[in-house]
Amino acid sequence: MADKKIDIAKNTIQKYIDFLRCPLCETRFGFDNYSVKCQNNHSYDISRKGYVNLFNGYTKITRTYDKKLFTARKKISDSGLYSKLCEKLCEIINNINPESILDAGCGCGNLTVDIFKNTGFGTPRAPSPTIAVDLSKDGIDYAATDFCEDNLLWIVGNLNNLPVADNKIDVILNIMSPANYAEFLRVLKPGGYLLKVLPNADYLKELRHFIYKENDKNEYSNKDVLANLADNITISDIIDIKYTHKISAEYIPALFDMTPLTLNINEREKIKDELTSRTSFEITLAFKIAVCRK
C-alpha cells in the first residue's frame, strides 16, 4: 500500500530539515510527531494532504488566486501550453546539475511537477530536494493533492520571509511570480543561480486583444521588472522563448479562467461566452529567462 501523503511529506522534511528555518524566530526546526517545532517552540503541523504551512498571516493573494484559478491553470498546463518553456528550463537546470531547487512562487505547482519529473529530482536516486513555496494555501493544497512524492516538499510560505535556511539552495526558480531578491540571495549558496522567468510583450497577446480591444491594457512591458532585477543581482544571460499554441475548444474555458487578466473585467461572462464559442484559439507564448548568479 502506498504511503499516505502526510507520511511522504514527513519523510521528506525529516531528510531535509536542515534546509528549513522558523519564519517567526529564524531558528532551526526539529520534529514532534507530525509537526515541526523550532527551538522556541513555534509549532507547525504537517497536513494530511502532504504539505506544511509555515506562514502566519493573511494576504489578499489568497482570495485572488483561488481554487478555480488553480484548477484552470492545471488543466491548461496539461494541454501543453507551457511545455516548451519547461523544456528550456529543464535543459538549463540539467546543465547546472544542482543539488537543490527552490521554486519560489510555485502557485498550484503545475510547472514545478514537470520540472521535478524531468531534471532527475523525481527519481529514486535523487539525494536532494525540490522545495516549492507559495503564499496561497489554496495553491499548495491543490499542488500536494495532485502530486505528492518523496524529495518534493510543498510549503505555504511568504517570499518576503522564506522559511529556508541561509546558503542552502543551488537554483531558485521564480516563474512569472513576485520576487524578493534580498531573500533569494540569502538562501542561495555562493555561486547559486536564480532563473527568473518574465512574460515578454507578446505573451497571451491574442487573449489580451480579445479582452481589451484597443485599450492601453492591451500592451505589456517587462522593462521595469528587468531593470529592478539587474539592480539586485548579476544577470549572466537572457534567453528569449516564443512559440504559438493552438488550444482546442475543450481547453478554452481554462485559458480564460487561468489568468488574472480576466478577473475584474467588465462584462466578464459575456466576453467568456464569446471566447468559448470558438472551436479553437491560437495563442502566443513569449518569455524571457534571465539566468542570474549570486
More confident position, 2 or 76: 76
Note the CATH architecture for domain 5-289.
3-Layer(aba) Sandwich (3.40)
pLDDT exceeds cutoff 90 at 259: no
Beta strands in the chain (DSSP E): 29-32, 35-38, 43-45, 51-53, 101-104, 130-134, 152-156, 169-175, 188-199, 234-248, 280-293
pLDDT band at 260 (very low <50, low <70, confident <90, very high): confident
Across the range 43-63, mean pLDDT stands at 80
Across the range 177-193, mean pLDDT stands at 97
pLDDT tens string 121-140: 655 545 679 999 999 999 99
Mean pLDDT in the chain?
90
Return the pLDDT at 13: 93
Contacts for 240 with CB less than 8 Å, ≥ 6 apart: 200, 286, 287, 288, 289
pLDDT exceeds cutoff 60 at 230: yes
Return the pLDDT at 173: 98
Contacts for 40 with CB less than 8 Å, ≥ 6 apart: 22, 24, 25, 27
pLDDT tens string 102-127: 999 999 999 999 999 998 765 554 56
Q: Where are the domains of the chain?
A: 5-289
Half-sphere exposure of 136 (CA within 13 A, CB side): 24
